[in-house]
Amino acid sequence: MSTTTQLLRFITAGSVDDGKSTLIGRLLHDSKSIFEDQFSAISKTSEKRGMAAVDLSLLTDGLQAEREQGITIDVAYRYFATPKRKFIIGDTPGHEQYTRNMVTAASTANLTIILIDARKGVLTQTRRHSYLASLLGVPHVVLAVNKMDMVDYSQARFDEIVAEYKVFAAQLGLHDVHCIPLSALNGDMVVDRGDNLDWYQGPALLELLEEVEIDHDVNTSDFRFPVQWVCRPQTGEYHDFRGFAGRIEAGEVSVGDEITVLPSGWTTRIKEIDTYDGKLQTAFAPQSVTLTLEDEIDISRGDMFVRSSAHPPKMEKEFEATLCWLSETPLDRSRKYLVKHTTRTAKALFSRLDYRVDVNTLEQHGADKLNMNDIARVAIRTQQPLVFDSYGIDRATGSFIVIDEASNNTVAAGMIA
Amino acid sequence: MKLVEDNLRKHTFTHLDALESESIHIMREVAAECKNPALLFSGGKDSIVMLRLAEKAFRPAKFPFPLVHIDTEHNFPEVIACRDKLAADLGERLIVRSLEDSIKRGSIVIKDESKPRNPFQSVTLLETIAEFEFDACLGGARRDEEKARAKERIFSFRDEFGQWDPKNQRPELWDTYNTRVHAGENIRVFPISNWTEMDIWEYIGREKLHIPNIYFAHEREVIRRGGNVIPVSHLVQPKPGEKVEIATVRFRTVGDMTCTAPVESAARTVEEIIEETATTRITERGATRMDDQTSDASMELRKKEGYF
């Protein structure tokens, strides 16, 4: 395997009925990513359940608790590789907690596969999945029109579904949408092209996953560096060393660049870009590096470095965001919560609850409370200012989580805009 | 000009660079937010990768945590030697706590010396966590190893009994990790969650990491029992009727000597192992961990009891 392969993270959205598990199973099986011991285990189970062929959907079957109750517990991650790319699949179940799970898996994904049953076409859940993909800013969408074998591999049916979906996707602002007809059951257009879809000229699913361009998904122009950890060895030759360790979340930085430290507003220049493997002249997102500065400035975890000449981020104590409530305990507006945004954690109040979004119809409703899986427009006030960008511009500096201080649970996820 | 640079980047920032940067970021979050973390270190290949990642995250400073090994005393001597040498070479503090201590205390009761000790490791681990009041333990587990692990968070919360509740995990979004615990609770953190066996080997090759020599093909006395190749040791002797043979083998995982099976292999270099890993048809644990074969849910049950 080449050592220059890239990493693509994708999720699959759809219910068991759409053949989601079968699709993942087919992808793993036909790309030769299933091991013999795994295959023999599912063969035995299929036989025990009286099935004629090996049920590939069993590959994504999970824990004992799930098998007993016939449910799937939130997100499982699966891995496979081809010579061109390494893949991480965020596999989410399709039951009632769907919003919470899909939001979680989509937050780190480069691409979403939205699965449709060719017989049923665009359904309410298709709209819900697409809305969540757009809300979480997943850059690429694949509409996989599955079960083409059940509609005689009809091009007319496929075209009809695609036409309907494209109108809807455009409304949501999903720009990069690819549509593929396939049969996960028979393996048409998943890894191999098969013999049944000759009228389709585009790439098969795996080919698309291998080729989709992901280099330009991160913001490459505006340097953003949240200080994560201050490196002060205080020993021997490093007695005076004071480095600021962190990951570049967006853009790039070079030795000698003038940077501004926020929220204090001090400016200085980059003295060195340090890594274990040696010093760099230039570093870029998403590298983890240690920066040293020309001037001694009081800097701690939670501060953000930005390039002075670049487009500045916002710095506010009050901001609006779209929130997804994840906890079984509803929002209590009389309480203070913690907001963790990049490397800064601040006390926060929900100052306004504007409306709730119905994920099925996208209609806005008045809201006085938030329950699990609710998505809402809110205003938040924090004790200290946060340094942020709009989520649409930068996922890393535009997102935050909400923590309940009493339980320490993560209760919500937010996107600033 | 811009295009040339972009192309250059595309070809120099590899999937290993992406995984490495993610792991460094996770380790630094632990260092910055947890009060008293520790890194669980066994001398196996995954934990050796963890040490290199810690060097990348924290040098030129010392690690902001000690290394901790929970020793079953069923370990291969080559692995223990490698553990001690690495800790000494790095100049980092190594804390070793043994299952024997728990046995003496009476918190572990061993009925059969020749049986695997993995199920008891959780007891000593929890006792060690309590002794040092660790609030976070970094571990080298990977999600591709096993299906219970595939569903576990990178920051995996444990209650005051050290228990993992798979149905009640904290949502984990973006790279924004919730590290908060109450006194007595604990977080297990898995910075190489997203690495596969292949990634580990490619990284060992790229970083030229020193690993115990039993990972490479060597000749060893083995017996064949129930479809498994079992290494002969002071703990495992042939039963009447079993034949000891010399086989050329290597270990894909190194753990308890009584339940870690080697695979037959001629791979004597990292490059040869990478080639073999690319073509193998059996999973890492399927081939080598007899304790995980006993039931479909073995790992899940052990994790619920506090195993890392």
Query: CB distance from A199 to chain B under 8 Å?
Result: no
Q: Kindly state the tokens that stand for A346.
A: 């601040």
Q: How many domains does chain A have?
A: 3
Task: Give mean pLDDT, residues B143-172.
Answer: 85
- For position B167, what pLDDT does the model report? 76
CA distance B71 to A91: 35
Last residue of a domain, one of A307, A338, A370: A307
Nearest chain A Cα to B28, which residue? A229
Q: Using DSSP, state whether B256 is helix, strand or coil.
A: coil
What φ, ψ does residue B302 adopt, rounded to 5°? -65, -40
Quick: pLDDT tens for A272-311.
999 999 999 999 999 999 999 999 999 999 999 999 877 8
CA distance A415 to B230: 54
A356 close to A374: Cβ distance less than 8 angstroms: yes
Residues of chain A with confidence (pLDDT) below 70: 1-5, 15-16, 57, 59-73, 93-97, 216-220
- The DSSP result for A201-270, as a single string, is -S--HHHHHHH---TTSS--SS-EEE--EEE---SGGGTT--EEEEE--BSEEETT-EEEEETTTEEEEE
- For position B301, what pLDDT does the model report? 66
Same domain, A160 and A242: no
The answer for A 5-34 residues in CB contact with B (under 8 A) is 5-7
Last residue of a domain, one of A307, A338, A372: A307
CA distance A200 to A216: 28
Indicate yes or no: CB of B206 within 8 angstroms of CB of A41. no
Nearest residue to A20 via CA among A84, A78, A67: A78
Alpha-helical segments (H) within A136-221:
155-172, 205-211
In a domain, A262, yes or no: yes
Query: CB distance from B151 to chain A under 8 Å?
Result: yes
In a domain, A331, yes or no: yes
Q: Kindly state the tokens that stand for B28.
A: 């630094």
Indicate yes or no: CB of B24 within 8 angstroms of CB of A396. no
A264 close to A297: Cβ distance less than 8 angstroms: yes
CA distance A76 to B151: 4
- Whether residue A313 is preceded by a cis peptide bond, meaning omega within 30 degrees of 0, is no
β-pairing, A85-91 vs A6-13, is: parallel
- For position A353, what pLDDT does the model report? 94
A144 close to A19: Cβ distance less than 8 angstroms: no
Quick: pLDDT tens for B101-126.
888 888 888 877 777 777 788 889 99
Same domain, B125 and B27: yes
DSSP state of A140: E
- Beta-carbon contacts of A108 under 8 Å, excluding residues fewer than 6 positions away, are A9, A90, B173, B174, B175
Same domain, B76 and B211: no
Quick: pLDDT tens for B186-218.
999 999 999 999 999 999 999 999 999 999 999
Sign of the torsion formed by the C-alpha atoms of A123, A129, A135 and A141: negative
Task: Give mean pLDDT, residues B219-225.
Answer: 91
pLDDT band at B10; cut points 50, 70, 90:
very low
The pTM is what? Answer: 0.91
In a domain, A390, yes or no: yes
Q: Using DSSP, state whether B166 is helix, strand or coil.
A: coil
Same domain, A261 and A366: no
Which of A75-79, A388-392, B48-52, B268-272 is predicted least confidently? A75-79
CA distance A360 to B218: 61
Residue written as token pair 């298709």: A126
Same domain, B71 and B143: yes
- For position A1, what pLDDT does the model report? 35
Strand partners, A342: none
- For position B107, what pLDDT does the model report? 84
Task: Give mean pLDDT, residues B254-281.
Answer: 87
CA distance B42 to B255: 9
Task: Give mean pLDDT, residues B278-299.
Answer: 63
Query: Number of residue pairs across A and B with CB atoms under 8 Å?
Result: 173
Task: Give mean pLDDT, residues B232-243.
Answer: 88
Of A37, A75, A340, the CB nearest to B176: A340
Last residue of a domain, one of A150, A182, A211: A211
pLDDT band at B164; cut points 50, 70, 90:
confident
Min Cα–Cα distance to chain B from A177, Å? 23
Chain B residues within an 8 Å CB radius of A81: 196, 198
Phi-psi category of B219—alpha, beta or left, where left has phi over 0 and alpha has psi -120 to 50? beta
CATH of the domain at A406: 2.40.30.10
Nearest chain A Cα to B196, which residue? A79
Q: With 50 as the cut, is the pLDDT of residue B41 above it?
A: yes
Strand partners, A413: A324, A401
CATH of the domain at A117: 3.40.50.300
Q: How many domains does chain B have?
A: 2
Same domain, B152 and B248: no
CA distance A204 to A206: 6
- For position A21, what pLDDT does the model report? 79
- For position B302, what pLDDT does the model report? 63
Task: Give mean pLDDT, residues B156-180.
Answer: 88
Count other C-beta atoms under 10 Å from residue B131's C-beta: 11
Same domain, B168 and B112: yes
> Chain-wide mean pLDDT for chain B?
87
- For position B144, what pLDDT does the model report? 87
pLDDT band at B7; cut points 50, 70, 90:
very low
Strand partners, A141: A112, A177
Same domain, B88 and B232: no
CATH of the domain at B99: 3.40.50.620
Helices (H) and strands (E) in chain A, counts: 7, 23
- Beta-carbon contacts of A2 under 8 Å, excluding residues fewer than 6 positions away, are A83
Indicate the length of chain B as a whole number: 308
β-pairing, B263-264 vs A278-280, is: unpaired
The domain containing residue A288 runs over which residues?
Answer: 224-307
| ipTM score assigned to the predicted complex | 0.91
Indicate yes or no: CB of A343 within 8 angstroms of CB of B150. no
pLDDT band at B296; cut points 50, 70, 90:
low
Q: With 60 as the cut, is the pLDDT of residue B292 above it?
A: no
- Beta-carbon contacts of A124 under 8 Å, excluding residues fewer than 6 positions away, are A360
Nearest residue to A405 via CA among A364, A345, A354: A345
Same domain, B219 and B289: yes
Same domain, B190 and B210: no
Of A3, A107, A275, the CB nearest to B173: A107
Chain B residues within an 8 Å CB radius of A67: 296
